[in-house]
Amino acid sequence: MFALVDCNNFYASCERAFRPDLNGKPVVVLSNNDGCVIARSNEAKAVGVPMGAPAFEYEELFKKNKVHVFSANFALYGDMSQRVMSILSEYTPDLEIYSIDEAFLKLKGFEKYNLQTYSEEMQQRVTKWTGIPISIGIAPTKALSKVANRIAKKYSVQTKSTYIIDNEEKRIKALKWLKTEDIWGIGRQHAKRLKALNINTAYDFTQMTDSWVQKHLSIVGLRLKHDLQGIPTLDFEIVQPQKNIATTRSFEKLYTEFDDLKERVITFAVSCSEKLRRQKSACNAMMVFIHTNEYREDLPQYSCNIVIKLPFPTNSSIELAKFATDALSKIFKQGYSYKKAGVIVMDFTSEDNIQLNIFENSNSRHIPLMKSVDRINALFGQQKVKLASQDIKKMWKMRQLKLSPRYTTNLNEIITVNAR
């Protein structure tokens, strides 16, 4: 059996975990730079706040319905996710973290367990230890556990947020209930095609012939169909290293000078190098891009990018900063006000398979230094150690006017308890 554990309204729940006065009240969380709504509590959904709503367009609705608005606090959300996943790992040795708020558990060898009792215990422990409510769906396959989870969440009062598909009658009933567009892995375009053929439910989908599904939805769609039929086809996925890594930012103000832009691009290159080292990869190519603010019609517009082939694979912050600066110098033009820039590293080689070139490659000499820098930054905080070409005082600044404290990751912002 597989279990899918999903944290309910995760970002909003993280905010509520430290603000119990918000329970039962509408809460929304905004994207980077306080742009759009990326998370909503059920109460916020009920008053008509749609996902992706531009915050400035919904200010009146927020005020009218007393919606509590938060800037995205990713340091808090990431730490709370890690805590939830750590608890879940105690319930099975086979855990696949699917996203920041979802995980699959393989319950192999649990045939003699009462899975209802087991899941309720899991649910109570996660909520008690973290304050995050979860829903659990259990079924013989991964795709069916997704369906079960959806039922658990939709009918939380009746199911107590836990639902188990453990027989054929439940499977068919669940599939007849699930709409085609809500099937896990079926995209919007495929859903339109299926509905045009009068395939309106997941059950209808499972009645299609294998040959038709494979022809129109590829082998991936066929595996999904078999999984929904109760035939275990989708197993745990092996996490693959990323094929490219990007660090991009919109600036808090417009930059006109090369040196200002260079400092930002170097910082982005350093961030990419840190991510490369975490997955033990080195890159062979790099893209650098810059562009002005397209919404400022009163200013001249310019955008450009360049891809450069590196002379050797590297994950050294020093090397990548140098290459990024060279790339920027080739595309920078004076006389423009730049709003955004980014660095993307590509064409990866495993760190263990780098062929050294004694005349060019200094990456190998930088490895001990980079390890020390990573260790210091991990212990004392991100960006404590920087390159000399970076601004020591400058940190990435996003528009976060409604940011909550980093309760669990910063001692200066830890919650204060009145013990009187």
| 260-264 mean pLDDT | 92
Same domain, 12 and 137: yes
172 within a domain of the structure (yes/no): no
| 389-404 mean pLDDT | 67
Judge whether residue 404 has pLDDT over 60. yes
The C-alpha atoms of residue 137 and residue 1 are separated, in whole angstroms, by 10
394 within a domain of the structure (yes/no): no
Structural contact between residues 255 and 394, judged by C-beta atoms closer than 8 angstroms: no
Q: What pLDDT shows up at residue 176?
A: 95
CATH number, domain of 205, equals 1.10.150.20
Same domain, 199 and 269: no
235 within a domain of the structure (yes/no): no
Same domain, 359 and 294: yes
Q: What pLDDT shows up at residue 353?
A: 64
Q: What pLDDT shows up at residue 363?
A: 59
Same domain, 160 and 182: no
| 172-181 mean pLDDT | 94
What domain range is 347 assigned to?
245-380
55 within a domain of the structure (yes/no): yes
Same domain, 12 and 158: yes
119 vs 111, residue with greater confidence: 119
Same domain, 160 and 183: no
**Coil, helix or strand for 8?**
coil
Between helices 317-331 and 258-278, what is the axis angle to 10°?
Answer: 140
At 175, the pLDDT band (50, 70, 90 cuts) reads: very high
Mean of all residue pLDDT scores within the chain: 87
**Coil, helix or strand for 118?**
helix
Same domain, 191 and 156: no
Pick from 225, 320, 195, 230: nearest CA to 270: 320
Q: What pLDDT shows up at residue 396?
A: 52
Q: Which of 12-16, 89-93, 204-208, 356-360 has the lowest mean pLDDT?
A: 356-360
Of 164, 192, 216, the one marking the end of a domain is: 164
256 vs 413, residue with greater confidence: 256
Q: Which amino acid is at 148?
A: A
Q: What pLDDT shows up at residue 237?
A: 65
- Could you give the C-alpha distances from 161 to 3, 4, 124, 148, in angstroms and in order? 13, 12, 11, 10
Of 113, 130, 164, the one marking the end of a domain is: 164
Using the Cα atoms of residue 195, residue 199, residue 205 and residue 211 in order, give the sign of their dihedral.
negative
Same domain, 12 and 150: yes
Q: What pLDDT shows up at residue 320?
A: 93
Same domain, 314 and 221: no
Q: Which amino acid is at 249?
A: R
- Rounding to the nearest 10 degrees, give the CA dihedral for residues 288, 244, 397, 326: -20
How many domains does the chain divide into?
Answer: 3
Judge whether residue 147 has pLDDT over 90. yes
Label residue 370 left, alpha or beta by phi (over 0 means left) and psi (-120 to 50 means alpha).
alpha
Neighbours of 395 (CB within 10 A): 8
Q: What percent of the chain has pLDDT over 90?
A: 56
Same domain, 305 and 370: yes
At 343, the pLDDT band (50, 70, 90 cuts) reads: very high
Q: What pLDDT shows up at residue 414?
A: 82
At 349, the pLDDT band (50, 70, 90 cuts) reads: confident
Q: What pLDDT shows up at residue 384?
A: 66
Judge whether residue 378 has pLDDT over 80. no
Structural contact between residues 149 and 102, judged by C-beta atoms closer than 8 angstroms: no
| 333-358 mean pLDDT | 83
Place of tokens 């660095």: 343
238 within a domain of the structure (yes/no): no
For 240, residues 6+ apart whose C-beta sits below 8 A from its C-beta are none
Q: What pLDDT shows up at residue 417?
A: 76
100 within a domain of the structure (yes/no): yes
The pair of structure tokens assigned to 153 is 């969440």
Judge whether residue 392 has pLDDT over 80. no
Judge whether residue 240 has pLDDT over 60. no
| 90-98 mean pLDDT | 89
| 367-393 mean pLDDT | 71
Q: What pLDDT shows up at residue 301?
A: 94
Q: What pLDDT shows up at residue 188?
A: 84
286 vs 394, residue with greater confidence: 286
Rg (CA), the chain: 25
215 within a domain of the structure (yes/no): yes
The C-alpha atoms of residue 154 and residue 135 are separated, in whole angstroms, by 10
Q: What pLDDT shows up at residue 144?
A: 95
**Beta-bridge partners for 105:** 3, 95
380 vs 267, residue with greater confidence: 267
At 118, the pLDDT band (50, 70, 90 cuts) reads: very high
Same domain, 263 and 357: yes
DSSP assignment of 300-313 equals ---EEEEEEEEEEE
Phi then psi for residue 175, to 5 deg, are: -70, -35
The pair of structure tokens assigned to 275 is 């991510």
